[in-house]
Amino acid sequence: MAEYQTVRTAPGVRTAEIDEGLRAHMNKVYGIMSVGMLVTAGVAWAVGTSDALLSIFRDPMTLQPNILGWIAMFLPLGLVFLFSGTINRMSAAAAQTFFYVFAAAMGLSIAWIFAAFTGVSIAQTFLATAAGFAGLSLWGYTTKRDLTGMGSFLLMGLIGLIVAMLINLFIASSALAFAISVIGILIFAGLTAYDTQRIKTEYLAHANAMDSEWLQKSAIMGALNLYLDFINLFMFLLSFLGNRE
């Protein structure tokens, strides 16, 4: 009779595999996000530093958007909703391509900052945002505190923030704009930590299944969430720290 030997994986070995997989997953999330940031920066710089290109979307003197400018402003929001609703039907490669298209659209929508603010203040604000984002994301990754409740509160606050921003597009209140900036910084600071913990938690919950397609799409969605947190933190901080041309 043939003998069969059952090989069991030691708990410590399995835990080490999951930890290694988690590190690889988070590195992929941050890698995709970083490429998206480079795409956004490249498009924003190319359009924002060219009077000819920027004038297609905004008045070169007042920087007020024209019809194409309004379309460019709301295009990223529309793409986010489209992406969220269709990612389950996309391949991982298509989803990643879509994310980079979205990043390019975001660059187009914020290109005006290169005409409105000095290059030095944009760079300083970016570095300040990067430092704050890194600290908040690290805290979200390492904290033992469950941030789920905080996330629900922040998401409700985000909805209110969007409504306030839409209202201020028409009334142009400086006091409301200041309040929006302060609240926006607080909300996206909290969302940075919350989203980082959620990405980690979702990976650990699905680690045993090891569905490679799901993991790839999860990394892309995680990159999108953290990308949005970073961009919004940067834009709200720029309204405080930026020196206008």
Write the pLDDT tens digit of every residue in 124-171. Answer: 999 999 999 999 999 999 999 999 888 888 989 999 998 998 898 888
pLDDT at position 149: 86
∠ CA 240-126-161, nearest 5°, is 50
pLDDT band for position 244 (cuts 50, 70, 90): confident
pLDDT at position 88: 84
pLDDT at position 17: 66
Distance between CA atoms of residues 187 and 155, nearest Å: 8
Distance between CA atoms of residues 141 and 138, nearest Å: 5
Q: Is the predicted pLDDT of residue 86 greater than 70, yes or no?
A: yes
Write the pLDDT tens digit of every residue in 61-84. Answer: 888 999 999 999 999 999 999 998
pLDDT at position 107: 97
Q: Give percent of the chain with pLDDT exceeding 90.
A: 63
pLDDT at position 55: 94
pLDDT at position 175: 87
Through-space distance between the first and last CA atoms of the chain, rounded to whole angstroms: 86
Q: What is the CB-side half-sphere exposure of residue 213 using CA atoms within 13 A?
A: 6
Q: Is the predicted pLDDT of residue 210 greater than 80, yes or no?
A: no
Q: What is the mean pLDDT of residues 25-38?
A: 96
Q: Is the predicted pLDDT of residue 122 greater than 50, yes or no?
A: yes
pLDDT at position 16: 66
Helix (H, G, I), strand (E, B) or coil at 110: coil
pLDDT at position 137: 96
Q: Is the predicted pLDDT of residue 236 greater than 80, yes or no?
A: yes
Q: What sign for the dihedral angle of Cα 215, 186, 73, 57?
A: negative
Distance between CA atoms of residues 230 and 40, nearest Å: 12
Q: Is the predicted pLDDT of residue 2 greater than 60, yes or no?
A: no
Residue 164 burial (C-beta neighbours within 10 Å; 0-12, 13-18, 19+):
middle
63 dihedral zone (left: phi>0; alpha: psi -120 to 50; beta):
left
pLDDT at position 245: 62
Q: Is the predicted pLDDT of residue 206 greater than 80, yes or no?
A: no
210 dihedral zone (left: phi>0; alpha: psi -120 to 50; beta):
left
pLDDT band for position 9 (cuts 50, 70, 90): very low
Averaged pLDDT score across all residues of the chain: 88
Q: Is the predicted pLDDT of residue 19 greater than 80, yes or no?
A: no
Q: Quick one: tokens of 200?
A: 């980690």
pLDDT at position 212: 72
Yes or no: say if 226 and 196 are a contact pair by the CB < 8 Å rule: yes
Yes or no: say if 26 and 138 are a contact pair by the CB < 8 Å rule: no
